[in-house]
Chains A and B, each alone.
Chain A
Amino acid sequence: MTDTLSNRASPDADTQLDIYRRMLRIERNDEFTRAQIRQGRIHAPYYSARGQECIPAGISALLNDDDKICTIYRGIQDMVAKNMPLRPLWAEICGRVDGTCKGKGGPMHLTHPETGVMVTTGIVGSSMPIANGFGWAALLDGTKQVTVAYFGDGASNIGAFHEALNLASVWKLPVIFVCANNGFAEHTRFENGTGVDQISKRAIGYGMPGYTVDGNDPIDVYAHAHAAIERARAGEGPTLLECKTFRFMGHVFGDNDAYMTKEEKAAALEKDPLPLFRQKLIDDGIATEEQLEKMKADIEAEVKDAIDFAMNCEFPSDDELRRDVFAEEIPA
């Protein structure tokens, strides 16, 4: 059995607008990224999260700047939702010295402690154990900070997931384990790789609440994240949130989706969370068309500015190979 929320927090109008803004910023940023790759202006593996925007947007609306996240190669949405500034983000994915990591990490390994983006890993399963360390530190420091570990459904089959959840539970760590269940791990269907129909059920084995969430519904994401974050801040321990969603652009840029049917993709696209939530905001009188168009124009201006900035930054000097290996520079 998977858990059901007893108390559902619901976002007020301003918060809903804030969530939508985060979603749109993720979606526009993704669109521009793919365009840059298509035009040959960026060369890097890119794992689009188009379709998964609600998850980090709904969660981040509840996080403070000093709350932390550990995310994965498909993680730029999590950073954008956490309000990472776009200029250093773009400079990094363009391999420039003004990037968050001086161009050394690239799109799979961004780090930006100012906005709480602590680790971005390319190794499936590795966000979770490290998130626990930040959770432990928060307990030691006596802060109310929480840490979110983002990962995919496939990652719940690796040993690290099981070790990390158990440890977090035993130590009552303020960590929220957020699984974006997009139905596929590379080309493997969920049911062919995972021996249980709901990942949230795995929480039982580790003694923490586990919820299956509609990851395409920002209101549902918000409600569950609210409960998990409250629980963490109250010192009661971790929660597992399985957010059901879909990735529209395949595993990696250039994927031809050969492993899914046209019908199933079309059905998923019908549930594209972005236009649906946009319509809801208008129907509920939370925002007007004009307001949302203006929001879009502002975000696009921000993304374009970031791209221009990045493309005009310097490439790192070769000396960077000797820096940051250790605290002390390696002599030439």
Chain B
Amino acid sequence: MSTDTVEMVKMNGLQAINAALMEAMEADEKVLVLGEDIADNEGGGVVGVTKGLSTKFGTMRVKSTPISEQAIIGAAIGAAMAGYKPVAEIMLMNFTTVAMDMIVNHAAKLRFMSGGQSQVPMVIRTLTGAGNQTAGQHADFYEAWFAHTAGIKVVIPWTPADFKGLYLSAIQDPDPVMIIESGKTLFVPMDTPANQGPIPLGKANVVMPGTDLTLVSYGQMMFSVMQAVEELGKAGVSVEVIDLRTVSPWDKETVLASAEKTGRLLVVHEAGRNFGPGAEIAATVQEELFGKLKAPVGRLGAPYCSVPFAKKLEDAFLVQPPEIVAEAKRLAAMG
């Protein structure tokens, strides 16, 4: 495999998603896009992810909506059942709460409840993440809620390449997929293959090989993880970094193989630690690798409270690189 044949371009997550949507809509006329302010008349989305789509594909396929999250998800469900592949935007993850009935009782369950007669091949795009002092109703990570709901897949990409590849797969997936875009991941440019194709859902990415500890994370928390890993490297701790990419269904095989190799696992996410995805991963790894681990599985996540407003509190709320370093060192010293 030679990498010099792959043309790389610098792009950010926002551009990667835009490219994926462009490509998907071009290739498949069944792909639709809807959401608040997403058409060009309204600026092409709050941060511009959907810019150009309505101009290129018309406002029958690319529709700005009223502020009506239930109606957005409901329309996407119906269109999906009628043979289309809608990509519905819920501007921010906290606003999914307004559409919970549609997402949880309907999108996720219609295939099962209809004995397989119905299918709902839709994508829900949503954005979240703390760090901008948007306080308690604009920054939550609720992936655990949806991971706990059978019938909807949950994807949280980190790199622009993954955004492109995972979007291409999600749009063609026969089932509902929620893709969570986390703040920074949209704006930090990274080297990306110009022709990035689909990346399968449910497959983690081993970002960096290591021997002392496996560190699992995803989304914008990966930036803090990479900072921490650099520190840990200097301190002589060799970390195997896994970007989970899909939170549900998660890539047990890759995580278990790595944890078995290193004997130590630390899961880090921005979502609350209580009942967070880390709990599920820790439980599974301890069930499968009991006796082979050199340390208990570590978990870092947000404390049990709402996202606070004051910068000082928000900083304390978020898992910071020094905490990751300290926890990784603590685990690495065991066993």
The yes or no verdict on A and B being binding partners is yes
What distance in Å separates the Cβ of A296 from its nearest Cβ neighbour in chain B? 30
CB neighbours of B240 from chain A (8 A): none
What distance in Å separates the Cβ of B46 from its nearest Cβ neighbour in chain A? 7
B91 closest partner in A (C-beta):
A186
Please determine whether B36 and A104 come into contact, CB atoms closer than 8 angstroms.
Answer: no
CB neighbours of B37 from chain A (8 A): 186-188
CB neighbours of A154 from chain B (8 A): 66-67
Distance of A318 Cα from B308 Cα, bound (Å): 10
Please determine whether A123 and B133 come into contact, CB atoms closer than 8 angstroms.
Answer: no
CB neighbours of A43 from chain B (8 A): 133, 311
Please determine whether A321 and B317 come into contact, CB atoms closer than 8 angstroms.
Answer: yes
CB neighbours of A248 from chain B (8 A): none
Known: A123-B94, A157-B66, A194-B66. A321 touches B316 (CB 8 A): yes
A43 closest partner in B (C-beta):
B133
Determine chain A's interface SS by DSSP, over half rule: loop
Contact code string B32-47 (vs A, CB < 8 Å = 1, else 0)? 0000110001110010
Stretch at the interface among A80-88, A105-113, A220-228, A266-274: A105-113
Contact code string B68-95 (vs A, CB < 8 Å = 1, else 0)? 1110000000000000000000000011
Q: Which residues of A309-332 have CB atoms within 8 Å of chain B's CB atoms?
A: 315-316, 318, 320-322, 325, 330
Stretch at the interface among B135-143, B193-201, B217-225: B135-143
Contact code string B124-146 (vs A, CB < 8 Å = 1, else 0)? 00000000111111100000000
Number of interface residues of B (CB under 8 A): 36
Please determine whether A103 and B308 come into contact, CB atoms closer than 8 angstroms.
Answer: yes
Q: Does any Cβ of A come within 8 Å of B313's Cβ?
A: yes
Q: Does any Cβ of A come within 8 Å of B275's Cβ?
A: no
Distance of A103 Cα from B311 Cα, bound (Å): 9
Distance of A44 Cα from B304 Cα, bound (Å): 23
Q: Does any Cβ of A come within 8 Å of B303's Cβ?
A: yes
Known: A186-B36, A321-B317. A122 touches B135 (CB 8 A): yes
Please determine whether A315 and B312 come into contact, CB atoms closer than 8 angstroms.
Answer: yes
Q: Does any Cβ of A come within 8 Å of B235's Cβ?
A: no
Please determine whether B66 and A193 come into contact, CB atoms closer than 8 angstroms.
Answer: yes
Known: A106-B310, A187-B37. A122 touches B138 (CB 8 A): yes
CB neighbours of A187 from chain B (8 A): 37, 42-43
* Complex partner residue of B98 from A92, A95, A158, A321, CB under 8 angstroms: A158
CB neighbours of A105 from chain B (8 A): 135-136, 309
CB neighbours of B18 from chain A (8 A): none
CB neighbours of A92 from chain B (8 A): 309
* Complex partner residue of B67 from A106, A109, A193, A322, CB under 8 angstroms: A193
List the interface of chain B (C-beta within 8 A of A).
36-37, 41-43, 46, 64-70, 94-95, 97-98, 132-138, 303-306, 308-313, 316-317
- Interface CB pairs A-B, < 8 A, 26: A43-B311, A45-B132, A95-B309, A95-B311, A95-B313, A96-B310, A103-B310, A104-B136, A106-B310, A121-B137, A125-B67, A157-B66, A157-B68, A158-B68, A158-B70, A187-B43, A188-B66, A193-B65, A259-B42, A316-B308, A316-B310, A318-B312, A321-B316, A322-B303, A330-B304, A330-B305
Supply 9 further A-B pairs (C-beta < 8 A) apart from A106-B135, A108-B138, A122-B94.
A44-B309, A109-B309, A123-B95, A185-B66, A193-B64, A258-B43, A316-B312, A330-B304, A330-B305
